[in-house]
Amino acid sequence: MLTNNQKYTIPETVAQRAHSQETQVATTDCRERFCTAARMDMDYVITDITNPEIVLREANEWLAQFYKEKKLPEEKLAIRMKEVYDEVKKTGTYFQTYEELSYSCKVAWRNAPRCINRIQWSRMEVIDCRKVTTAEEVFEKCLEHLKFATNGGNIITTITVFAQQKAGEPAPRLWNSQLLRYAGYRQPDGSIIGDPSNVEMTEAAQKLGWVGQGTRFDVLPIVVQMPNEEPKLFPIPKEYVLTVQFSHPKYPWFEEMKLEWFAVPFVSNIGLTSGGVQYTCTPFNGWFMGTELSRNIGDPQRYNLLPDIATKLGVDPAGPPSSMWQEKANLELNAAILHSFQKSRVSIVDHHTAAAGFMNFWDAEHAAGRAVPGDWVWLVPPCAGSASPLFHLEMANWLQKPAYFPMDFPGRNYKFPKQKRRSNVSVKGLARAVLILRKYMTAAYNKRHRVCVLYATETGNSERYAQRLGKFLSAFAAVTVSNMETYDAQKLEKEEVVICVASTFGDGDSPSCASSFKSKLEEGNLNLKNVQFSVFGLGSTLYDDFAAFGKFLDSRLAELGAERVNPLAKGDEIAGSEPTFKKWIGSLWRNLSNLWSIKQADYDHGLKVLGIVRGTNNFVSTYTLEPAKAHASQGKSAPVSTTYNRSNPYTATLIENTELLKKTSGDRSTRKIGLKVDTNAVKFNAGDHLGVMPSNRPELVQELLEILRVKDADTRYELKPTGGEDSLSTPFTTLPFTIREAFTDFLDITSPPKPEFLEVFAHFAVHPGDKTKLQDLSKGTEEYDSWLEHNYPTLPELFNLFPVSIPLELLLEKLPQMQTRFYSISSSPNMYPNEVHLTVSVVKYVTPSGKQHYGVASNFLANSKFGAKVKVFSRHSDFSLPKSPATPILLVGPGTGLAPLRSFWQERAHLKDLGQAALFFGCRSRNEDYIYEKEVANAKARGLLSHVSVAFSRDSAKKVYVQDKLVEEADMVVKLLTEGAHVYVCGDATMATGVKDAFKQIVQTKMGLSAEASAKYMDELTKSKRYLTDVFGAALPSKKADAPVPNTISFEVLC
């Protein structure tokens, strides 16, 4: 703290040095005898990006600074400068690397003269969205920014950077001054409801079709304007806006004022200039300082609530100024704000702490030889005055590049149409419509547009979505639905609209059927500039790289020149992908309707067909159930093919079903399943997966048949599509069938119902009360989640809870199809020819409602008798041994994660010149669940394993896990890594995260790396395929469920 006689001055040499860098300092409108420093907005003269010489000069100066501060080699700087020179000479600009962009953003924050919290500058998270090309994508990325940065209240300083501005061309813009702002409604008498500072933006949004609620705290929509397009308006879903309700630690009446504010300030009307490159769409957030919010609530030109607060404090705001009623009210307002944010566990800083942090930043910067631009008017907190050290600090204000600069409100000069159709979702941009219509005006409108729907699937889920989409679009276009496995990727160049529905297998892999298609895209030889596309990606949020293959398709198709007709959507198999699919397909249909000039009546009809709006279509079957004809009564013959997959599974014979756990393990069960196969037909290697097509339990099927009063359950039927024989989809792949077969093998009657199925169920409820309850549950709200957690009902249990009278053919159509379950193969084909072994943790649990439930596939296998037939197919995995047997390997697999590792040591028995192999295994107790213990000991004795370390979590007072054993053996782990070891981790997703953290810790500690460097080291191991995971996630229905978390590998649903 400064004394009354002290003042902080700018070191002379540093100030001179800063001003000597003329091209890195932006010109302001200050003059020799005229200062504009106290104005709200400075008129900075930013880089002239139309002048290549200026661009090159600023690029060279910035690159020199970047390479110097990052301590990068000078020879690399010279190479980079040459690259930039060539690119600027050719195009007039250049594309910054992510590292250059990221550091530019951070240094620009460091240079920001009006920011008091710059001490955090190096911790900024930078999200690169420069390749985003549509308004919808910009909005989606803004939502992702909101969610990421809010972080549940533990705010992360973040910036998202969209496309750079090109010389002479418009650039992406956000109309909002901040992503989150409260509306200000001008009243006829001139008063304002809401935030007066946002009246201009509110009226602009209303002209674009937005209708607010008219309250004091209505969140404004986001308005995005892309180059050469009309602005588009997007309301922000409530779940993305974290708000803090104000209360006071002393005065209960404060809460009655019903004041609130959003948790995070997201500034969005700033641009970034860096190294001759300019960005005009760079939303950025830090966190609030308390006095910022007190000004928002208290300032006369804002909400002007200080008089109300003073009155409640018993101080007359009409009294003499000497009563200092403003100061008293402001003090308690600040106390309430800090108290409320801290109570809500949302990041905030008081002005004294912020000022102290700035003083530390000031000292650190000058110690580093850097000057600190500072706008005294803004930096000195609006309260505290001379009690703050900043009040006494002499500052000089300039705009040092890289820099953020303010931008005008785009709506101020925009010419709004006289009449605008109101929309709650998005404004149909005139410019976009003109461009799209021009692109297609050569085609006659009486011709059907061509749509190619491609799917990639392992379990059939993506195929079902693709078939639904194809069936719907076939009413308006010529549609083909194809598997990526059989589709020639070269044909993409001739397609008009391509829609991909693709699942992701495990922790980021593409389905095996899409491997060649993916390779073709990666080659980069396709020109898709005349193709429109959209992607729906399916995956599970249990995995780090959620919907990875869908994201790959979306980015790669765009890179090859295709234009997005609809943004990427990602369906989560854990939370339920149907709501996301409906939202995506609704958006797709809206955009295609614009493209094809679909009539409004047809557009509305399409929504009803899709079930996006309520209509009768969702409750009428598109199939009729008819007895099979005599010639088809024996069923269709199996397809003649030597390739076995989900559509053509191999029939294996069960030859072993052995319990691996000891008797002391209680009701838990882990089975070794042996299947007889022809390994010439079912080809696999150690580490691959086996797809198992399970059946529902016979007693569950019988119970359902009795509930439905099906008397002819074993009579063969056919489902005939009402749309004719050329219908694009049927619920079953095998026709004809019996009703018993349908409920046993084809349909999932074990898993609990999704909200969309409950909507159908509600329509046929017998009792009005049940109908209301089901309709409420079908909304998928917290009520549904609570009900699901308590009951987790099978289909028979659902019928018992809610009696309904539903047509059988509609039930067959609406039930989810049985999904394939994948297991890691735990045997080597070289050690066990014509056999395949699985290691299966049997899932059993009791729901909170007291019902005993069973996992589908694990119990199907566990209950199968010797000689039983099991339909299977193999799937290749990258989880395979190194090409050279001499390469050392680290194997980590607790529980049934040991399965593929067992296949590895068996495979090594047939190899020569073996490198070291260290196994880390974990289980509860040696006397309970040390599976394959004798085999492990034998493998070690034979030299197939050179080291074995086992973590028993319950054999001692302190729980020990494989992560702990890795840390204990850190020296050996590092030694093997430095010798080029490959790491293999198999188990549940939570364990895999802990193991990776342990490796990072080991690398950081033993190799002397920083946290950032150790993370980079692990990333490189992953990219080079030296760190491989076979990760699975089991989703038990309830935390209260009486069941252990299973280790059985199931990539889609609970086994």
Active site residues: 115, 118, 287, 292
The answer to whether the beta carbons of residues 463 and 819 sit under 8 Å apart is no
Q: How far apart are CA 538 and CA 570, in angstroms?
A: 6
Residue 925 buriedness (CB in 10 A; 0-12 / 13-18 / 19+): middle
Q: Which two tokens stand for residue 341?
A: 């944010």
The answer to whether the beta carbons of residues 728 and 468 sit under 8 Å apart is no
Q: How far apart are CA 733 and CA 711, in angstroms?
A: 24
- Classify residue 526 by its DSSP letter: -
Which residues lie below 8 Å from residue 384, measured CB to CB, with a gap of 6+?
351, 352, 355, 391
Distance of CA 50 to the CA centre of its chain: 38
**Rounded to a whole number, what is the distance in angstroms from the first to the last CA of the chain?**
64
* Cis? peptide before 410, omega within 30° of 0: no
Q: Which two tokens stand for residue 299?
A: 């300032």
Encoded amino acid at 181, one letter: R
Q: How far apart are CA 783 and CA 773, in angstroms?
A: 10
Q: How far apart are CA 59 and CA 84, in angstroms?
A: 8
Q: How far apart are CA 622 and CA 720, in angstroms?
A: 8
Which of 781, 10, 775 lies closest to 371 in space, CA to CA?
Answer: 10
Q: How far apart are CA 469 and CA 838, in angstroms?
A: 36
Q: Which residues are annotated as a binding site for heme b?
A: 115
Which of 549, 385, 574 lies closest to 456 in space, CA to CA?
Answer: 549
The answer to whether the beta carbons of residues 879 and 1030 sit under 8 Å apart is yes
Residue 418 buriedness (CB in 10 A; 0-12 / 13-18 / 19+): exposed
Q: Which two tokens stand for residue 1038?
A: 């309830």
User: Can you state the angle between helices 430-440 and 578-596, rounded to 10 degrees?
Assistant: 70
Which of 154, 63, 141 lies closest to 101 in space, CA to CA?
Answer: 63
Q: How far apart are CA 981 and CA 476, in angstroms?
A: 56
User: Can you state the angle between helices 755-763 and 768-777, rounded to 10 degrees?
Assistant: 160
The sign of the torsion formed by the CA atoms of 1007, 1012, 1018, 1019 equals negative
- DSSP letters, 650-695, are EEEEEEEEEE-S-GGGTT--EEEEEEE--TTTS---TT-EEEEE--
- In total, the chain counts a number of residues equal to 1055
The answer to whether the beta carbons of residues 47 and 273 sit under 8 Å apart is yes
Residue that is written with structure tokens 């979505």 in the block: 465
**CA-CA distances (angstroms) from residue 993 to 169, 558, 645?**
46, 32, 31
The sign of the torsion formed by the CA atoms of 502, 503, 505, 507 equals positive
Q: Which residues are annotated as a binding site?
A: 115
The sign of the torsion formed by the CA atoms of 937, 942, 944, 948 equals positive
Which H, E and C letters describe 952-1019, residue by residue?
ECCCCCCCCCHHHHHHHCHHHHHHHHHCCCEEEEEEEHHHHHHHHHHHHHHHHHHHCCCHHHHHHHHH
Q: How far apart are CA 173 and CA 754, in angstroms?
A: 40
